[in-house]
């Protein structure tokens, strides 16, 4: 390609980028997140948040679908803010996402991000701002669709190199999963992954559900002792499926939640 020439794809991508910036600079600062989105984002991301077709944007890189709650709810607002302010590469995303830090104020970007959140219409999905690192594990509260590869190197009397590959996939808004192994006709062993939290030491409602399922499929008979990392419980189930849960309980953690976090929890439903 000779100097000065442009491919149709490059021209279309440049037009998409310039249209976004022109929409911002051609007017005074918009008063709402919707107005900012329509002036700065609509050309590439479309009026419904699903992304404009390749014929419009001029490149093959898939655009995000903001109506996909599994995608749109995973990250915190600060990550969305960074991408809008600094451009896609700041978070390892495509260079086709331009930086708007010079064209939009911080308040404008906050308003635009708040509007983007509205494309996910199902409020059951927890907000990304609640995906907080857990205190005792270097892992987020709920998984994102990703593969995590880690390497550990140990030195000393028995040096080692260890590799671990973890595949994580978010199955829904607020899933709870129990993995159960029968031990004998009146005992099962259970591990539980609770929605929005990760693996927990015990779960009373999950233990009851496991006992009913084990009895229903003929694996166990009442009462059923459910072994969990945090302790054992016994679940009695009668013919009418009335449940009796017996076990010990102890306080393992105490925390105070500030007003802002409580407000976010309420908004998240």
Assess whether 60 and 107 both reside in one domain. yes
Has residue 3 been placed in a domain? no
Q: Which of 159-168, 189-198, 240-249 has the highest mean pLDDT?
A: 240-249
Spatial distance between the Cα atoms of 192 and 233, rounded to a whole number of angstroms: 14
Check residue 15 and give its pLDDT.
46
Residue 196 scores a pLDDT above 80: no
Could you tell me the residue range of the domain that residue 211 belongs to?
Answer: 177-247
Has residue 58 been placed in a domain? yes
CB 240 within 8 Å of CB 99: no
Instruction: Report the CATH number that the domain containing residue 53 is assigned in CATH.
Output: 1.10.760.10
How far from chain centre, in Å, is Cα 224? 35
Spatial distance between the Cα atoms of 136 and 38, rounded to a whole number of angstroms: 43
Count CB-CB contacts under 10 A for residue 258: 7
Phi-psi region of 129 (alpha: psi -120 to 50; beta: other; left: phi over 0): alpha
Residue-wise pLDDT for 202-259, tens only, equals 899 899 999 999 999 899 999 999 999 989 999 999 988 899 999 988 887 788 878 8
Instruction: Report the CATH number that the domain containing residue 221 is assigned in CATH.
Output: 3.10.310.10
Residue-wise pLDDT for 68-95, tens only, equals 998 888 888 889 999 999 998 988 888 8
Residue-wise pLDDT for 101-142, tens only, equals 999 999 999 999 999 999 999 888 888 877 766 555 555 656
Q: Structural domain tally of the chain?
A: 3
Assess whether 30 and 117 both reside in one domain. yes
Has residue 256 been placed in a domain? no
Range 236-253 burial, b when 16+ CB lie within 10 A, else e: ebeeeeebeeebeeeeee
Copy the structure tokens of residue 87: 């451009």
Assess whether 147 and 234 both reside in one domain. no
Spatial distance between the Cα atoms of 187 and 222, rounded to a whole number of angstroms: 9
Cβ contacts of 18 within 8 Å, gap of 6 or more? none
């Amino acid at each position: 390609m000779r100097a000065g020439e442009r491919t149709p794809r490059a021209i279309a991508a440049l037009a998409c980028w310039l249209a976004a910036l022109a929409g911002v600079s051609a007017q005074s600062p918009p008063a709402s997140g919707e107005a900012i989105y329509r002036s700065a984002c609509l050309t590439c991301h479309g009026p419904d948040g699903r992304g404009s077709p390749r014929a419009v944007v001029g490149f093959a890189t898939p655009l995000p679908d903001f109506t996909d709650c599994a995608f749109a709810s995973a990250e915190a607002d600060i990550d969305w803010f960074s991408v809008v302010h600094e451009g896609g590469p700041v978070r390892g995303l495509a260079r086709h996402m331009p930086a708007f830090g010079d064209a939009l104020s911080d308040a404008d970007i906050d308003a635009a991000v708040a509007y983007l959140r509205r494309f996910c219409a199902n409020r059951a999905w927890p907000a990304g701002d609640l995906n907080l690192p857990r205190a005792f594990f270097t892992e987020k509260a709920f998984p994102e669709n990703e593969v995590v590869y880690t390497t550990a190197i140990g030195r000393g009397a028995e040096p080692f190199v260890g590799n671990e590959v973890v595949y994580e996939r978010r199955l829904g808004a607020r899933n709870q999963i129990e993995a159960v192994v029968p031990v004998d006709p009146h005992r099962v062993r259970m591990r539980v992954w609770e929605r929005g939290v990760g693996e927990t030491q015990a779960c009373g409602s999950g233990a009851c559900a496991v006992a009913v399922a084990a009895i229903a499929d003929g694996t166990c008979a009442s009462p059923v002792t459910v072994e969990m990392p945090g302790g054992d419980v016994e679940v009695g189930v009668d013919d009418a499926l009335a449940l009796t849960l017996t076990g010990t309980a102890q306080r393992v953690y105490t925390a105070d939640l500030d007003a802002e976090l409580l407000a976010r929890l309420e908004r998240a439903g």
